[in-house]
Structure 1
């Protein structure tokens, strides 16, 4: 008990010290630290008129691992369109951090119930020098079951998780995103009493009105990742009178904290960028391209909390990339601080970016751009280029949208592939000297333009004939790459072996390099003719 008291006092001094000093100067007794499991508090003089020029801060601290439910019994403050005069502010954590602000309220409409995403919640009451009203009365309770969740992200868990949940409970959470945004729900642990129809203990997810949008889950198999059909998602947990389990834990992501990108290229950034991102959030951005593509991500800006000074690891705010659609996919990298990472590339057509922030210290955040890397097999001989691209990767593009140098050198359809084979004296190819090496170059165009929107990707196709080595590099359309636009960034690594085999399999359309054989044959023929000529001269 003594330890908890000391902790509360230290936390109050650290987070509310300036506010408490201001209250003492104004001579109004209000605010403080509320550390009991539940309680009530109200504006000064409630239900009489509150005083002018008053500011009160309450810090609600419950046991770590718990959450706080805040509800209002009465609410009557001076009204203003933007609540610029008298107001009440509710914070998911410390009141000094605008990233934790859940809302500012005034007038006579009480705020909705709020559930914190951790064990600390702050409430600030402010009045100016004009117009007073009755004020407010509120109650809080720890370890609540259910509530309204309005943050960009948060955690849901069954009562007493990870210990067994109690019998005869019913919890209802309403997750509400701002504006028209959707909500993603990801279960990370799940163990609920199982039955054939999930009639005993269950978790129900309701994406909107109507039974067709309701799903029930039980047993030990984790439910799939769910995305709401609107800006609201309801989660209900119910247990009967016997047999329990560990329960469940799930993360939710909403608004600008969860997006799915399907365009061939694009940009996105952290919430509120370039202003400071919020505290205590976990955000998911999924890039999902058509089968056959790979995803390459460029980091245009990065300013997160610095790494741990002792371990030099990203233990606080950090950004991570996963080679797939979930955090269970292979990790491509984790970054923090302000040094720009190099580009990362997925091995398949999906990549997940995750931003995790803790409960203190925020910065500008990040900005990234991505492009879908078209898997292609580029090769060359001493005389020509051969390019193979899977038609599935470029669906629904027509072959005429893929061409080398000019539209007269469009690709041909051969089986399931687009094929371009062009001699070095055609299709806009030219000889250049780079790094004291003679190379043949041309430009490959892939035209994604649609609906009047110009979108053509241009790759420089390069061949070193002596070594018969070929490569492709992004040339234009790279204004969105920020600092990377200054150079022709090498986007076209060799495709994975299985893709190469698919491209070169039953419909192997790359012509064999016969130039060496022809050259050797000519040499032999010349030698034979020379011998014949010498013999003839000797006979004469």
Structure 2
């Protein structure tokens, strides 16, 4: 047998039977071998195969329940076991087999199995509480295990219950939107059952509506107004506590076609049958929708989900003038007519919610608005307009559309009916030409636009400069490639806070080149138009204000310009009270500030000219200085011409009249008895300068005599000895110019003052002279006396 178990039973003498217990291995296959033993020798007498009993037979009553356990449950099962149980009832009996636990190892060839009457063989473990129904008055269970496995075995309940048939002969009558159903009760049924009414909508799978009806009723009324145009599948069954019968079905189709009138400005809704719960295949619906003349039809998609594809070859919605749609309908689609046909075909599609379409009667578009005006400021264009002359009562709003020349798409602004103005931002679009037009809007669509209004956005800046302030002006609206944009007109108004001039400096300038600057150009009032390439150019506008205008046409652009505008003072007036006074070490020059434009003085130019060579020297002097000393120690006795000029920001004022002065040459001395004094020409022993004039004054403390000695005398005299060119003049002695007096001495007696003068003209120069003066008291000598 399958367990491999074996045992021996001895039979003695004349016995011809033996009892073998099978309680441990019910349903197992036993192999019986009979041996004859003679004189200790055992020989096989015969072999038989027999299966031990496993199972039972039951005569059931309605409501009875039987527990069936596999041998050794739940401790496993043996190989080679076959068990059978049989159940019998009366003619109204059916059976319910509940598998509380079926845990037997499955195999590919179904070696371990459970067979419930004619039901499919169970070859693998199933979930607990799985059940089978046997619709027969008798049944059998057969468990067969060819192999031992790890499972627990089988625990099964068999319940005998009253059979139940399905209802018969459903009749459906449709009256308006009410469905009246009647049927005949089932032939066999228990006392405690109910009817189950199911309503489904193919191809939508699943039970949509379920109704429970008492057993004493065989009719039912139901509102089906939500299912117009659909195929309704009605199913009814009988249900007892143990089992629900098969269903009896009836199919009902509802027509789906209607004509709908929409009053002016009215609204209707067209929905697919059974929306939003889906729809079935093969549905065909048609709606004819119409309204009054002078009105259009507006179709608005609220929801569309019909499972269509791009080609609309299966499920689709067909709308006059809009065509077939199976995926979406543009919201707000206007049909320019007062009627429309809408049809729906589901084809073979069975998915999607369906559709819900809003259909409105809307007024035709009105005429264009009148009196369109635009007012410009620095940030926007204020657009206003009047109402159209006709059908203005149906207006719901206005569209303001604008473009930016030459080819920049602007935008559309929408305003509500009560607003007849709009504000167009000009940010980043300064100086551009805006083309503006306005259209009224009804629910029937947008009307014709008004005639275009051409408005240029503001690109104007006013700059007020104080002295020494500078404003940089850049070409506006640089585009992506770094160039200025086309179609621009910009203006800068430059003015000064006081009577100043304007200095223009072009730091960078690159505009489109054209003949006569007829295309892109920059124009400065009081100056010519500029275009092309210009670098580092500067010019002065001798006025307090100017306008700078930039214009670009609609084609070629360039990198633009950078211009600096500075406020500078006009030239100051003439310095006042100019004075030049000679001192021992230089000329002291003084003056007062100009009376005219004194506040614009930034300094002074002092120019002095040394005669007769007319050597020119100019000195820069600070604004607040009113005195300057010209060092003349290196040019004693020279005639010097001095001019003063007030210096301005860009231009200096007029030059003062010349002031002539001679540089100091000579000195005043006081001598006492026994003192000696030397007097020489300038730069001695080097040559003296031309055009020199020097004076020495010697004062004596008392009436003394003075000895004067010519140590050197080398002067230029072109006309002999008349001393008309260079000479030395000594008071009380005379004029000397001849070299012959060198080493001569002269006595001046009883004097108290001597005046010595040296003059040179422009003829030339010599080594000069050196005089020695000694104070004596009445000394007599052979020297010449005077």
Q: TM-score range by the shorter chain?
A: 0.3 to 0.5
Q: Which has the higher strand share?
A: 2
Q: Which has the higher helix share?
A: 1
- TM-score by length of structure 1 reads 0.35
Largest Rg, 1 or 2: 2
Higher relative contact order (CA 8 A, sep 6+): 1
- TM-score by length of structure 2 reads 0.26
